[in-house]
Structure 1
Amino acid sequence: MRKFLILLYLLTIGYAGTVCAAKLKAKHVILIALDGWGAYSVPKADIPNIKNMMDNGCYTLHKRSVLPSSSAINWASMFMGAGTELHGYTQWGSRTPELPSRVVNQRGIFPTIFQIMRDQNPKAEIGCLYEWEGIKYLIDTLSLSHHALVKEYKKNPSALCEMSVRYIKEKRPVFLAICFDQLDHIGHQAGHDTPEYYKKLNELDQYIGRIVEAVNEVGMLEDTIFMLTSDHGGIGTKHGGITLQEVEIPFIIAGKNIRKGGEFNESMMQFDTASTIAYVFGLKQPQVWIGRPMKQVFK
């Protein structure tokens, strides 16, 4: 009887381990987000690295930003799994919530994907690298292993790419968010849907190619999921309104355990990004989140 109980115990432990392992879709996620990248631009743009991911994974060109279609609001929603009404960031440059957050964590900020990952995987290497200073107020920096701002990127446009490559090679992060601001700057200066805009998009595509190659060089490629997206689009030299050019943004996902499924038709919102990342890692999302993981893209 004792031998039977020991065997039953070992089988139970083995089964539980199998279930936990099955929840993990990949060991690494690299999220690359281009500020001001409207979905309208994708069919027209010369972006071979991005389109290669589209061909080998899944994507939608109808993901929607939350309203208003401005930066801090949508970066917050991307990382916080909820909309303005819950996280409380309501302005383009919000650093703290104008509307009190419905829930805050032990550090006084609305729960982020970085925080729930830290809480449920304390030893994970988690990073966020960015060009717009406003990002640091939206990511719960105390949950991160490393975060850094690239200053004066106009003088050295490749600086964030180079920083990302170094960090990947040195730390092999479990989760890394890379946030480029350059396209939004061009959108405000020269305008969306202009030759200057597409030239910058092509340049950013080359940086994305270099980041993917760095992942490959350190032997992470087979265990990594890449996600590409944006905070909002734009029209003319502005954003923040309700046109589809401002509201519709791309979401592209490729890599480990992702179907080669092409375009998916299910609706996706900005706050679904955090939920999809949580789903990759088998993380339990907070009750206050309203995001839904895009389960249909996985094998």
Structure 2
Amino acid sequence: MKIWFPLLPLFAALATLMATSGTKPPSAFSDKHVLLIGIDGLRSDALQQAMARGLAPNLKALAEGGTITWNAYAGGKLGQPTQQPTISGPGWASLFTGVWMDRHNVDGNATPPVNQPDVRGSYRLDRAPHFASRLKKAVPQARIASFSAWGWIENYLLAAQPEAFDAHDRGVGIKYPDRDLDIKNKTLRYLETTTPDVLVVHFDQADGAGHATGFNTENPVYMAAIQKVDEHVGEILEALKRSQKSSDQKWLILVTTDHGGIGKKHGGQSPEERTIPIIAQGPCVAQNRVVDTPLGQTTIAPTLFRYLGVPVSPDWGWTDEVFALEAATAHSP
């Protein structure tokens, strides 16, 4: 073993050079990466109209270059133990943990202490960690980043498991569009020096516009908010393209939301509040395809794991359903 000791300074020097030169290290999953974009409060019909009216060209390009469902659902299964309010806390908790409220226990936007079985709404990290925690445990070298315009995600959900993320931050600003802009800029700066294996980006102004003026396809304020988010998404996609020029990166891009809305609110079980879109584009995803089979928002986590080739344990309570991926992706990294 002693014959290797003289090489240690060389290895250390190479590592330092990579860190200081901005060289991006190889992916933990060969050439596979995932970008998950969350657009808070995005009604399915509103996205459909935004695409038709030319307000969302970047999201339209993702859908046409991949697969979309207009009738996925938030809120769990009606009348079943999984039914939950169509509120942001339970919605994002379900998306990020792969299970419904009957397991993660988040029933609203409050922030009670974590892992308190007898406390209503206490996030049960012990039963439902963020998919990033499960991924990091399975593949410790995975680089995972999360940038969220809504502070609850950062300050409550991620604060309970910060070790799962190599980079994470919340949006700063007085108004919803300000926080979205801050998140876009933070994401772009991060991508200048790092290529994550999984990147989660959350935008919030569509939800803010819906609460202020109405979740309605004929509401120009709500539709303009979707248009602005689409512009942010376009800049992030361009940054990924620039990154891919020097390497053979294969990105699976997922886009979805936590809930819809009706009037100026959400939380109930109306079709307007429950019905959500999911877009997938990337390797092993059919192009220009529309899927009619209703899938819950909990399909995001298992879809991500299937693409990266990471096994899922039955103990996690995840569904076997994945969105849009061909069976060819089900293999180890």
Global fold match (TM > 0.5): yes
Task: Confirm or deny that 1:60 pairs with 2:69.
Answer: yes
Q: Does the residue aligned with 2:61 lie in a helix, a strand or coil?
A: helix
Superposition deviation, residue 102 in structure 1: 10
Contact 2:280 2:324 survives alignment (8 Å): no
- Equivalent of residue 237 in structure 2, options 200, 212, 235: 212
After TM superposition, the structure 1 stretch with the greater mean CA deviation from structure 2, 146-155 or 53-62, is: 146-155
Measure the CA separation in 2 of the matches of 1:37 and 1:265.
18
Q: CA deviation at 1:282?
A: 1.5
TM-score (norm 1): 0.85
Return the offset for 1:134.
0.6
Matching residue within 254, 258, 265 for 2:285: 258
Structure 1 residues 296, 151: CA separation in 2 closer, same or farther (over 3 Å shift)? closer
In the alignment, residue 163 of structure 2 is paired with which amino acid? Answer: L
CA contact (8 A) 1:73 1:94 kept: no
- For 1:134-169, what per-residue CA distance to the aligned partner results, in whole angstroms no more than 9, with x for missing partners? 102223322111110111162734221111111122
**What's the CA shift for 1:243?**
0.9
Q: Report the counterpart of residue 3 of structure 1 in structure 2.
A: none
Residue 261 of structure 2 corresponds to 234
Tell me, in whole angstroms, the C-alpha distance in 2 between the residues paired with 1:104 and 1:92. 16
Matching residue within 31, 37, 55 for 2:36: 31
TM-score, with structure 2 as normaliser: 0.76
Residues 94 and 246 (structure 1), Cα distance of their counterparts in 2 relative to 1, 3 Å cut:
farther
Are the structure 2 counterparts of residues 64 and 221 from structure 1 closer, same or farther at C-alpha, using a change threshold of 3 Å?
Answer: farther
Indicate yes or no: 2:189 matched with 1:161: no
TM-fit CA distance, 1:221: 7.6
1:81/1:290 contact within 8 Å kept: yes
SS where residue 110 of structure 1 aligns? coil
DSSP-derived class of the 2:187 partner: helix
CA change 1:254–1:153 in 2 (3 A) is: farther
Which range moved further: 169-178 or 153-162?
153-162
In structure 1, stretches of 5+ residues that fail to align are 1-23
Within the alignment, does 1:72 sit opposite 2:89 as a pair?
Answer: yes
Query: Which residue does 1:110 correspond to in 2?
Result: 128
Q: Are 2:66 and 2:282, in contact at CA under 8 Å, matched by a contact in 1?
A: yes
CA distance in 1, matches of 2:106, 2:199: 23
C-alpha distance in 1, partners of 2:258/2:73? 9
Structure 1 CA distance, aligned partners of 2:110 and 2:43?
20
Structure 1 residue identity aligned to 2:145: G
Q: CA deviation at 1:291?
A: 2.6
Which residue identity lines up with residue 39 of structure 1 in the other structure?
S
Across the aligned residues of Structure 1 and Structure 2, the Cα RMSD in angstroms comes to 2.2
CA distance in 1, matches of 2:258, 2:229: 16
Q: Does 1:196 align with 2:221?
A: yes
Kindly state the Cα deviation for residue 293 of structure 1 after the two structures are TM-superposed: 3.7
Unpaired segments of 5 or more residues in structure 2?
A: 1-28, 76-83, 329-333
Q: Report if aligned partners of 1:81, 1:273 keep a CA contact under 8 Å in 2.
A: yes
Question: For residue 22 of structure 2, what is the aligned residue in structure 1?
Answer: none
User: Would you say 1:249 and 2:276 are equivalent positions?
Assistant: yes
Contact 2:251 2:282 in 1 (8 A): yes
Shift of 1:261: 4.6
Please, which moves more after superposition, 91-100 or 170-179? Answer: 91-100
Q: Comparing both chains, which one has the higher relative contact order based on Cα–Cα distances under 8 Å and sequence gaps of 6 or more?
A: 1
Deviation at 1:183, TM superposition (A): 1.1
* 1:273 to 2:274 alignment: no
Aligned pairs, how many? Answer: 273
